[in-house]
Amino acid sequence: MRRDITGFSNPLVKRIRSLRDKKHRKRERLFLAEGLRILTEAREEGVIPDILFHATDAQLHPLAIELIDAVDAAGGEVVATTADILSKISGKDNPQTLVGVYPDRTTPLADLDRSAADLWIVAQSLRDPGNLGTILRTGDAVGAGGLILVDECVDPFSVEAVRASMGALFTQKIVQCRWGEFIGWLRSGPGQLIGTSLKTDKDYQQPAYAAPAFLLVGNEAQGLPADYEEACDLLVKIPMLGKADSLNAAVATAVMAYEIRNQFRRGDPAGGQG
């Protein structure tokens, strides 16, 4: 269905604008994604928005026209509107010309197939949406299966996290669970839990990583709790040669993920020294 909306007081505009708040996203089980690049990457993964808003005062890119046709063909709703209304929906002064409304993409932990990938990323109490989005991009880049969010993490479907993921939100499985649930699930099958910590002397390039590898990163300020570290099969440290004592959480995740991936690429996961 296609229609035009020009009024700020339109009920649909009010409803979709409310998705900028976590409580409304959870209630509706919907979230927003903006921009041609992110929406096109979602479409390439076979994910079409339920509702698509596009600006009437901008020339549409051929890919945007294809997306509009795809939403229409799938029985979704295509809404032509003004840049001012798009700004109201997105909360940006210079909004993108496309805004998509998507169903929640959380995967229950019990439904996760650990054999689907040899590397998974696990984040505990992550607070920054930019870090979360960047970690999703890293996961996509290294061929990880997804991101398991443990305990109270920032909402992966917040507008900021979706923007930062640059489309990786649609290529990665996303799980949200508590620590006890995760560790019980992990120990019910194969999987090496690898933690990063300042309390170990083991260099991150020393151990042999084994698939499926679960890379565990902690909160940006506190790192991992002591009992979480004790539950790890391996604890490793990225050497710091300057005055800083640690890397940004997203950067540390990328360094670790590529070291694990490089071992697997060489076909020598036992290339470390144990």
Domain boundaries, the chain: 2-103, 109-265
Confidence of residue 243 (pLDDT cuts 50, 70, 90): low
Residue 247 has pLDDT above 90, yes or no: no
d(CA 228, CA 20): 33
The correct answer on CATH 3.40.1280.10 for the domain covering 109-265 is yes
pLDDT interval class at 242 (50, 70, 90): confident
Q: Give the pLDDT of residue 222.
A: 84
109-265 has the same fold as 2-103: no
Span 222-239, pLDDT tens digits: 889 999 999 999 999 988
Q: What is the pLDDT of residues 20-49, one digit of tens each?
A: 999 999 999 999 999 999 999 999 999 999
The CA-atom distances, in angstroms, between 154 and each of 148, 150, 159, 251 are 12, 10, 11, 17
- Closest by CA to 95, choosing from 36, 164, 10, is 36
Percent residues over pLDDT 90 in the chain: 77
Instruction: Give the mean model confidence (pLDDT) for residues 76-104.
Output: 89
Pairwise pLDDT comparison (83 vs 231), residue with the higher score = 231
What tokens were used for 43?
Answer: 């479409």
Calculate the average pLDDT of the chain: 91
Give the number of C-alpha atoms closer than 13 A to the C-alpha of residue 63, restricted to the C-beta side: 12
CATH of domain 2-103: 3.30.1330.30
